[in-house]
Structure 1
C-alpha cells in the first residue's frame, strides 16, 4: 500500500467509506462535508492510503504553531480494518509534522470510541488530558454579578494559576482549527481579545474566572458560539462567567454554545450546580513526542 497526498479526485472514494463511520451514533461523519476545504488548506496535509484499486484510509496533519502538530480525521475503510493499516497513516502524519518543525503531535478521540482510542495508543499516542463540553443556553437577559472585562492579561494570569490549567496541561481550543487544542499562551489570548472576545471575571479581590471565544459556526442547522476554555476559582465566579457567555452568545445570534472545561469531578459538578448544562460524555486528548522518533 502507498501513502500519498489526497487530491480532489479522491473525494468519491473517501466519501464512500466515511459517510457512515459510526452507524450506531446520531449524526454522520464530517469528513465528506469538509473534504475539499481540507485539500485547500496550506497549513495541513491530507493523506490517503492507496492499494492501487481502492483507498484503505485517510488522515490529516495540521500545524497549529511552530512546534505543535495536530492529527485528525483518521478513518480506515471497513474493508481494510484489522489489517494494521492505521500505523502507516500515523507515521506519515508524524513525519510531515516533524518536517515542519513540530516536536509534539496531538489528537482528540471521543471517549465512547474504544476502537479509536486503541488505535491511537497503538500508533504512538499517549494520554494527555480529558475535557467535557459545558453547554449554557444563550440568554440576552443574563446578568453577571461580577465585573467582566475583555482583558487578556488578567485572563492569562487567572488561567495560569488555575487548577483548570493543571488538569488540561495548558491545552485549550485553537483559534483557527475547529476541535483542535494547542498550548494557551498570552499571545493567543491577546489575539482572541482582538479578533473575538476574552472574558476576565472578577471584583476587588482579583480575577476569579476567565474564558475566551474561539468562533461561531453552524452545526445541525443551528448557529453555535464556541469558547476555548473556562477556568474559575469558585461557583460565584462561575455563575458570572456563565452569565457573560450566555449574553455574548445571544448577542451573536447563536442558538447554542459549547464551552471547553476540564473533565474533573469539581469542574463538571460545578457546571451542573450552577445549571450551565453539560454534555453526556467526556473526550480524550492524546499526544506523541516527536523528538525521539
Structure 2
C-alpha cells in the first residue's frame, strides 16, 4: 500500500515515539531528540515550518520536517522511518512532499544534516534527492577562566575584522559558507555580513589578531540540550590559520563560556585535517565523528 503523506498531528505522538526509539536501537549511547520536540513541532507549524508523517494502515510510520531558515534556504530534519517499513519509499514520499512545500515558500536550496556513522540516513538522503555538500565536527572546550597569553595572538570582538577574515578563509570554503543558524537549533545556513554584525551586538564575535586577522568565531546562542539536561553556549563556527591562533581562539571561547556560567560548549569547526588536528592539539575536546551536510537544488 502506498503511504499517505499528511501534516503531523498531536495524536501521532505515540506512533512517532515508538518507531523513533527503534531507529538507532543498535547505538544505545545515542539518544534521539524527537520524543522531546515532536509536540512542539506540531504546535508551532505554520508558514515557515511544516511537519509531516507518512501514514501506513492508519498509523504514522515516518516523520520529517522542513523549516524556512531564510527567504531562500530550507532545512530538512527529523527524517525517521519505522524500521519495519524501510524500503517502502516512505522517506522519498515525505521529502518529495516537503520539497514542493519549500518551493512554494520561495526556497531555492534545501539542506539536511546526517551523522557520518548513519549509513542508512546517508543513503536515504541521497535517494531522496540530496547531494553531499560539506562536513564539520563539534569541538567542546570546557568553560573555565583563562587569562590571555600575553605572547599569543589577541582576540577582540571585532565583526569587521572577523568578516574580512571569513570571506577568504579556508574554513569558509570547506564549510560552503555555512554556519549554525541563529534561529533554528541543529541547522546550518549561510553566514552573511549582516548576521555576523548582529551576533556581535547580541552575542559575541571573536577576531584573532596577530599581524592581521588570523582566525574568527561567533557565539550564536545559549541553549539547553534536552538529551543531556545541560546548558550550552553554542558557537556558530570557529576557523583559524595555525595552532597559535587556535590556542588563543579556544581560550577566548573557554573564558566566554565561563562568564555565561554554562555547563559546556559546542563549537562548529570545519572537518579538515588541519582544523581537526589543531583543535585536538589545543585540547578542545573533539566529537568522535564528523557530521555531514547535504543539499538539494530546489530551483
The TM-score bracket by the shorter chain reads over 0.9
Using the alignment, how far apart are the partners of 1:16 and 1:2 within structure 2?
A: 19
- How big is the shift at 1:136? 1.0
- The question of 1:39 aligning with 2:39 is answered no
Residue aligning to 1:181: 188
Q: How far does the alpha carbon of each residue in 1:140-191 deviate from its partner, in whole angstroms, 9 at most, with x for none?
A: 1342543322222211111111100111110111011111011110011112
Specify the alignment match of 2:15 in structure 1.
13
> Bigger shift: 123-132 or 49-58?
49-58
Q: 1:21 offset after TM fit, Å?
A: 2.4
Among 224, 228, 232, which residue is 2:232 paired with?
224
Alignment of 1:268 with 2:276, yes or no, is yes
After superposition, the Cα gap between the structure-2 partners of 1:277 and 1:142, relative to the gap in structure 1 and judged at 3 Å, is: farther
CA distance in 2, matches of 1:213, 1:123: 33
1:29 aligned onto 2:32:
yes
For structure 1, which runs of at least 5 residues remain unmatched after alignment? none
Offset of residue 56 of structure 1: 1.7
Work out the CA distance in 1 between the residues paired with 2:278 and 2:147.
Answer: 18
Query: 1:51 offset after TM fit, Å?
Result: 2.6
Distance in 2 of aligned mates of 1:279 and 1:148: 25
- What is the rounded CA distance, in whole Å, between the counterparts of 1:184 and 1:40 in structure 2? 29
Equivalent pairs counted in the alignment come to 290
Q: Distance in 2 between matches of 1:264 and 1:283?
A: 12
* Contact in 1 for aligned 2:23/2:81 (Cα 8 Å): no
**Offset at 1:27?**
3.4
Tell me the C-alpha RMSD between the 2 structures: 1.3
The question of whether the paired residues in 2 share the 8 Å contact of 1:104 and 1:288 is answered with yes
TM-score with structure 1 length normalisation?
0.95
Structure 2, unaligned runs of 5 or more: none
SS at match of 1:19: helix
In the alignment, which residue of structure 1 is the partner of 2:208? 201
Name the TM-score, length of structure 2 as normaliser: 0.93
Post-superposition CA distance 1:98-122 (Å, at most 9, x none): 1100000000000000000000001
Separation of aligned partners in 1, 2:148 and 2:112: 37
Residues in 2 aligned to 1:187 and 1:126: alpha-carbon distance in whole angstroms: 28
Instruction: Judge conservation of contact 1:155–1:210 (CA < 8 Å) in 2.
Output: yes
1:248 to 241, 244, 256: 256
Q: Where does 1:72-111 land on structure 2 (aligned, <5 Å)?
A: 72-111=77-116
Given that 1:21 and 1:28 are in contact with CA atoms closer than 8 Å, whether structure 2 keeps it comes out as: no
